[in-house]
Amino acid sequence: MNLVEQGDGFAAFWQERHLCTLATARPGGPPHVVPVGATLDLETATARVITSGSSYKARLIGEAGALVALCQVDGRRWSTLEGRAVVRTEPERVADAERRYAARYKPPRPNPSRVVLEIEITRVLGNV
């Protein structure tokens, strides 16, 4: 998916400081929705969420990966990114995600059990 084609407004919206929600599916199907900080790489159509490896969202995604939805809203502007998430534990991937998070939000607190949820975006919804 080419997210650059979504335009400058879309790119700017995903660089502004907004909290997001991440929706995953619990066993049996009910949604699990939690607030997260997220970053978006337009060039690779990859969103990233840093979290503890023991978090419920990371456990729901698991080693096999899972379909997720990542959403952010600001008044009437909103955007939802859908795709497949995987849990990455490689130190270089976690460090890269931490740098991206710090650029959008603030430096994250130290967490030796941190992982990164990498979401390969397959669908975009919204009005930005």
What is the DSSP track for 62-127?
Answer: TTT-EEEEEEEEETTEEEEEEEEEEEE--HHHHHHHHHHHHHHS-PPPP-TTEEEEEEEEEEEEE-
Q: Work out the pLDDT band at 63, boundaries 50, 70, 90.
A: confident
Per the document, the length of the chain is 128
Burial class (CB in 10 A: 0-12, 13-18, 19+), 117: buried
CB atoms within 10 A of CB 34: 14
CB atoms within 10 A of CB 12: 10
Mean confidence (pLDDT) of the chain? 97
Spatial distance between the Cα atoms of 4 and 24, rounded to a whole number of angstroms = 26
Task: Record the pTM.
Answer: 0.96
